[in-house]
Structure 1
Amino acid sequence: MEYLYPSKEVAGYSQVVKAGKDLEFCGLGLLKLGANEVCNLKTDDEEAVLVILSGKCNVVVNGKEFNDLGERKDVFSGNPASVYIPIQSSFKVEEAQGFALEAAVVSAKAEKKFEPFVVRPEEVVCNHRGILNYQRDVRDIIVANGEGKVHRIVVGETISCPGQWSSYPSHKHDDYNPPYEAKMEEVYYFKIKPEDGFGIQVMYNDDLSLRKAYMLKDGDTVIIPEGYHPVAAAPGFQVYYLWVMAGDYGRELVPKDDPKLAWLNNVAPLLK
């Protein structure tokens, strides 16, 4: 099975990962609009989050307007503005700056319908995590703040500094084993700065029947149905990834660390 979906330059809306086909729960689409262009979309049986990667737009969800959203020039330049879109909804996205818009539409299979809402940049919860050469900045877009407002979807962003690892110590969430591990699929969408750089996605499981590594380029996508999945940024380049998670047993994030790397968590407090 291939987990890497290489970048493709497509104008308008393109579906990259389809829930119910590529994965059971999670999906990802990309939206690229020129000046003043408009795109009309539907969610059907998936709840979705429109994450503005760059540019500014107006969004209408089931007749409810959310205007002048987005204020960053790229994903490395601050927190995103995002819109939650319920199942069985129609929504319109209009570029609003007279330049260009790039956004991602992450989604998850859902049965419960909620109201649309906006997560503004100042509402994103930011944390700096890790020590030594596995440091990163994590932006929670819809995580704990989504309880009672969404069904399954969990969304955020991570930025790894040059030469640093993230999603490390390696963890997984592919086995329902409460309270020690949640079972949730995940999708990563990557951006690299500068764009001609690269990162590395490693994927493996305990018995190494899964043992893969991918060279990540700007605009690539990786699906994560199973296994540990650390990411490395090559020296000289920042690596960003948007992540969406969903499963059938709640939204609480309970990853299981690779037991062979657990000692890192024990020494980390001593090295801070």
Structure 2
Amino acid sequence: MAAGQAANGPYDVDVDPARAGWEHSSLRVLTLPPHGSHTFPTGDSEWIVLPLSGGCTVRVADLTFALHGRPDVFSQVTDFAYLPRDSRALISSEAGGRFALAGARCERALPARYGPAAGVPVELRGTGSCSRQVNNFASAPAGDGAAPGGFACDRLIAVEVLTPGGNWSSYPPHKHDESRPGEESELEEIYYFEIAAAHGTPGLGYQRVSPSGRGRGTDVLAEVRTGDTVLIPDGWHGPSIAAPGHAMYYLNVMAGPGPERRWLIRDHPDHAWIRDTWPDQPTDPRLPLYTAPAAPPAPTGDAR
């Protein structure tokens, strides 16, 4: 969906299961002006409030979380807040900003919590022109041992991916549209894009989704710009291609019906060999674009 096509009411992007034609994953992007606020019910879903630019205060039940946020997605890791289902949340911002709400239908009402930026694992994947950075703020255990997933959610899986200009990510193409115990988990996925401008020129990129023989047979080659969204109910997805000179950011939001919250993928058999070349190449020296901040020191002295 091009920027604007997924807008609805107060949201720049509003993708829910009914609108997407699936069952589990949701994404909203909310822009607040200075001194702006927005209240919404969480309903049958858990949500993470993730600042894209600016900071905010999140209130849910009798808890208040002050999110420091960041200037933009290309500058630093951000803190975030987790909201349980069957709640009512208020987001307010003194200076204004843009905030992603990543959601998933769930069964359990887990406690509302604050996620510090210092606790976000920053991972480098691939090498050479396949190098990219992944901010695993709400990742889930993966079959290859990567992305261990330390932040507890019931169903929601969400990560940020940063790809330097000219590189390919989400490569080799992979899929997760059927349940194969220990091999593949069934997950609906949303890609939300932002592309860095350069020399005063807006950037662009490309996203490929090809049929896997399952489900709808999704077949997409999309030019993507800041604010665009690609829905992936099934199929091989990748590459995500960053145009030279323009770094690409995307937020991945996933959820599915499986009894276990896992991120298990199968590589496309025609392209899986590319992984074997990675040990012979260096990681792109432009990465990481940034790392998570150091954790604050533990308190010392008399704690009474």
Normalised by the length of structure 2, the TM-score is 0.82
Gaps of 5+ in 1: none
Aligned residues of 1:133 and 1:163 also touching (Cα < 8 A)? yes
Aligned residue in 2 for 1:271: 281
Residue of structure 1 equivalent to 2:52 = 53
* 1:254 correspondence with 2:264: yes
Q: How does 1:69-88 map to 2 (within 5 A)?
A: 69-88=67-86
Match of 1:34 in 2: 33
Is contact 1:11-1:32 (8 Å) kept?
no
The equivalent residue for 1:154 is 157
Matched to 1:145, the amino acid is G
**How far apart are residue 259 of structure 1 and its match?**
0.7
Flag the 1:80–1:215 CA change in 2: closer, same or farther, 3 A: same
Find out whether 1:124 has 2:120 as its counterpart: yes
2:24 alignment counterpart: 25
Could you tell me how far apart the structure 2 residues matched to 1:93 and 1:222 are? Answer: 26
- Equivalent position of 1:171 in the other structure: 174
**How far off is 1:12 after superposition?**
3.8
- 1:234 is aligned to 2:243: yes
1:180 and 2:179 aligned: no
**Aligned to 2:137, what secondary structure does the other structure show?**
strand
2:163 and 2:102 map into 1 onto residues whose CA distance is 21
**d(CA) in 2 for partners of 1:14, 1:190:** 13
The letter of the residue matching 1:151 is D
If each structure's strand is expressed as a fraction of its own residues, which one has the higher value?
Answer: 1
1:216 equivalent to 2:224? Answer: yes
Provide structure 2 residue ranges, at least 5 long, that are not aligned to the other structure.
140-148, 283-304
1:106 deviates by 1.0
Alignment correspondent of 1:192: 195
**Letter aligned with residue 261 of structure 2:** R
- 1:108 — aligned with what? 104
Distance in 2 between residues matched to 1:82 and 1:248, nearest whole Å: 25
Change in Cα spacing, 1:252 to 1:207, as seen in structure 2 (3 Å) is closer
Larger Rg: 2
Query: In structure 1, what is the Cα distance between the partners aligned to 2:73 and 2:8?
Result: 19
Q: Contact conserved, 1:200 with 1:214, CA < 8 A, in 2?
A: yes
Supply the RMSD in Å over aligned alpha carbons: 1.8
How far 1:266 sits from its partner (Å)? 2.0
2: CA distance between counterparts of 1:110 and 1:206? 27
Partner of 2:299: none
Question: Among the aligned pairs, what percent are the same residue?
Answer: 31
Aligned residue type for 1:263: W
Task: Read off the aligned partner of 2:11 and give its amino acid letter.
Answer: Y
Task: Give the Cα–Cα distance (whole angstroms) in 2 for the partners of residues 35 and 210 of structure 1.
Answer: 40
CA contact (8 A) 2:212 2:234 kept: no
Say which of 191, 209, 228 aligns to 1:203.
209
CA 217–150 in structure 1, closer or farther in 2 if over 3 Å, else same: same
**Offset of residue 207 of structure 1:** 5.5
Deviates more, 1:188-197 or 1:230-239: 188-197
